Amino acid sequence: MMDFSVVIPTHNRAELVARTVAAFLAQGDADFELIVVDDGSTDNTTRRLQQVNDGRLHLVQQENRGLAAARNAGFALARRQYVLFNDDDIIPEPGFLGAHLELHRRFAHIAVVSRTQIPDSLGQDPFTRFWRARAENGVRGKSDAAALDRGGYWFASLSVERAHLPADPFASFPAYGWEEHELGLRLWKQGIRPRLATRARAAHEDRVNLEGMLTKFRSMGRMAWQFYRMHPSLEVALWTGANPISLIFKRWTYPWPRAEKILQERNWEQGEGAESAYRFLLEAAYTQGLLEGRGAS
């Protein structure tokens, strides 16, 4: 029988993870165990989850060691045929696990990517609308079971056969960025391809803002160099921009001083050029991170 170990890392998001856990425990179309790793929360996460009376839920507590360590700790306890790594802000709709299961039955050597969406309830401000559309770009219009490229491994909810994964699937990065892609590259080299499950629908309750996303993109730029050091190849150099030629181009095209000037006056966000400005700012933040990461390498 095909079944799942669902692994959810969490940190200081008691209300949100409780909603996600409840949504998974309401799934009735697959046999599964639910492993939640509380990564050193200081809120009432543990108390909230200890009140859940369901034998499928297994709660793990550890000191705060970061996302990779939390995912790996959950994976170490997984015993089912397939493992679904799901972030604590990805709330599944009915039929979610069944949609993953169907694709695993149809195809061998795949990873199944959930169909996540940022709900309208999280806001209609200019940047949220921009980010919602950007997040949709990679999957909009694709059919169920559509094959994705390597970028499909930038995931917040993905399932893969447990036998395809090493003892500690996730490499630790000291800051945000490239963790999922690094695992995805190793799976890709094994011939495992990501496929989209359009019926594995979930709400991505990720409340975004421009400042927070600029911080993430800057961190990703810095972490690109670690990704490259882990996989020193032309493929990764071109993918991440962690190479001299790309860096020269980006530095010339996306200068951070210009970004700082744009950020000083924000009335442009209500105009027609907001989308282009947002794209420039994110790329400028990433470029700045690349420059900083190169100096630290």
Q: Give the residue, 296 or 57, on which the prediction is more confident.
A: 57
Q: What is the CATH number of the domain that holds 158?
A: 3.90.550.10
Query: Where is 194: in which H helix or E strand?
Result: strand 193-204
The domain boundary, picked from 204, 234, 262, lies at 204
**Residue 28: its pLDDT value, please?**
87
Same domain, 81 and 162: yes
User: DSSP secondary structure string, 66-95?
Assistant: -HHHHHHHHHHH--SSEEEEE-TTEEEPTT
**Residue 30: its pLDDT value, please?**
87
pLDDT at 267 over 50: yes
The domain boundary, picked from 171, 204, 237, lies at 204
Same domain, 198 and 232: no
Same domain, 17 and 162: yes
pLDDT at 94 over 60: yes
> What distance separates the 2 farthest-apart alpha carbons in the chain?
59
Model-level pTM?
0.94
DSSP at 55: T
Query: Can you give the residue range of the structural domain that contains 252?
Result: 210-296
**Number of domains making up the chain:** 2
